[in-house]
Structure 1
Amino acid sequence: TDIRYSFTSPEIIEAAGVKISDYKIIVVKLGYIFPDLRKVSKRSIMALTPGSSCLAIDKFNFQNIVRPMFPVDKEFDWDK
């Protein structure tokens, strides 16, 4: 598409021609940020996937950081 949108509310999803009640599952990227989407769901599942917006920062290959760095390094003396 020429114009990009974030699906941040049920109204925006339905404006795109999708009737939410017609589906058992709807997948949205970063849906946990938008509480209006939680109102129309019985359940939500967060999937952490690789990429530039991955929330599992312990999966990144940090090379140019001062060590130790929490939460990447978990076993170290906090007092030093």
Structure 2
Amino acid sequence: MSHLPVHRRRRVRGRLPGISALQEEYDVPSAGTIRQAQEILVHEGLIRTEQGSGAWVVALAPKTDIMAELLELRARIDRVIAAYARESA
């Protein structure tokens, strides 16, 4: 078994195996864990899911730069904290 992420070993427009097959392939006891992983991949723009049809690879690299998003979020949080501190002083 390869340790590459599942989307790196599949082709764009290729269908991912079903949840139970992925559980077996990655030795994951909970189907919920697979579903959560799929939700993350959907959010990152790597796969799309269709109820009753499965999951399909749509890209091999994320469409967004997660680190840039996290840094922007951190900057927003810092601004809110600074404003709160000014108002509380």
TM over 0.5: no
Report which of the two has the higher share of strand.
Answer: 2
**TM-score using structure 2 length:** 0.28
Report which of the two has the higher share of helix.
Answer: 2
